[in-house]
Amino acid sequence: MAIFAIIKGETPATFIMKEEQTMRTLLVLGVIIAFLTAIFTAGYEDKPGVRQ
């Protein structure tokens, strides 16, 4: 991939910054999805109408 970036005229530093930003965005989206999944599935662990 770095070879294609250099051919397009980007410097290696610019290419690394774009990759870093993409990875950070994917990481944040992954954490958001994990939290939302945990929040919405937490209510389905107990059977309705059963007293504890």
pLDDT in tens, 36-45: 999 888 877 6
> Is residue 3 in a domain?
yes
Q: What is the pLDDT of residue 51?
A: 67
> Is residue 26 in a domain?
yes
> Is residue 49 in a domain?
no
Which is higher by pLDDT, 26 or 2? 26
> Is residue 52 in a domain?
no
Residue 46 C-beta-side C-alpha neighbours within 13 Å: 7
pLDDT for 18-36, tens place per residue?
A: 788 888 999 999 999 999 9
Q: Which domain holds residue 25?
A: 1-37
Residue 21 C-beta-side C-alpha neighbours within 13 Å: 6
pLDDT at 17 over 80: no
Q: What is the pLDDT of residue 32?
A: 97
Please state the domain count of the chain. Answer: 1
**52 DSSP assignment:** -
Task: Enter the tokens of residue 39.
Answer: 């929040």
